[in-house]
Each structure stands twice: as structure tokens, then as C-alpha cells.
Amino acid sequence: MATRIDKEACREAYNLVRDDASGISWVTFKYSGSTIVPGDQGSEYQEFINTCTDDIRLYAYVRFTTGDAMSKRAKFVLITWIGEDVGGLQRAKIGTDKTLVKEVVQSFAKELVITDHKELDEDYIKNELKKAGGANYDAQIE
């Protein structure tokens, strides 16, 4: 059966993360049968990490505050999490299903596919955002 996405519900969740006033800094998109729907959401990044268990696959849209001494700004990351115990067929479908998620999640600075809990480390992701972000005035402070 072909995967579908609940665009309206997912768009509402996506907009919560983008809204500076909402307090929501991450949301997941999970599978409910063959439909992608909004999953958990929260304001603490560690809460998000706790949702990434070895037996699931999910997509996440996460807000980070990044920048350097001259400028702080919100940057967004699209994360595809594939747990260690996810089967081969589900792993294979995740790439094609991601196009459905990208119909809703259209604004992000970095896209990551993560299968190892170490790569969920907040500093690791912020460093990836910094690399993707262009000018870095912190280098002048060394």
C-alpha cells in the first residue's frame, strides 16, 4: 500500500516549530499504518532524543538557535531517524516517503539522516548547521 501524509495536520505541527511565540522547538512525523501523521512535540531537545528509539523510523523538524558573536538566529533541521532495529523494507521506503514530508516541511538549513544515537548530539547538529551557515565571525576571536 502506498504511503500517504496527513498534510493539514503535519503543516499545523510544522508551523508550531516555525512560530517564534509557540515555545515548540521540535515535532516528529511518524507512521500510523501507511499514513505519515504528526507525532510528539516539545520544547526541550533532550525530549526529542528520547523519542528516537531503535525500533522506529520517523522524521523530525527541529529549531536551533545558532549564529556567532555578531548574530543569533533560528535555524531549522529536517532529521530522518532510522532506528537500528528497523527492517530492510521500512528502511528502503523511508527515502521515497521523505518526499511526502518535504511537501510540508519546505524550509530548513540542513537535512540529516541519522541512524546512530551519537549523531543526535546537540553540539554535533549545531556544528553541522554552523558549517552550512556561511560567514562565521567566531573564527576571528581565536
For 29-42, b/e burial (b = at least 16 CB within 10 A) is bbbeeeebbbbbbb
* pLDDT greater than 60 at residue 97: yes
Task: Return the CATH superfamily for domain 4-134.
Answer: Severin (3.40.20.10)
Model pLDDT, residue 18 = 96
Q: Please, which pLDDT band fits residue 80 given cuts at 50, 70 and 90?
A: very high
Q: What type of residue sits at position 22? A: S
What's this model's pTM, rounded to 2 decimal places? 0.89
The full set of domain ranges for the chain reads: 4-134
Using an 8 Å Cβ cutoff, are 35 and 3 in contact? yes
Of 131, 104, 120, the closest CA to residue 47 belongs to: 120
- Cα gap 133→126, rounded to integer Å: 10
Where residue 133 falls among pLDDT bands split at 50, 70, 90? low
pLDDT greater than 60 at residue 138: no
Q: pLDDT at position 140, please?
A: 44
- Mean of per-residue pLDDT scores for the chain: 91
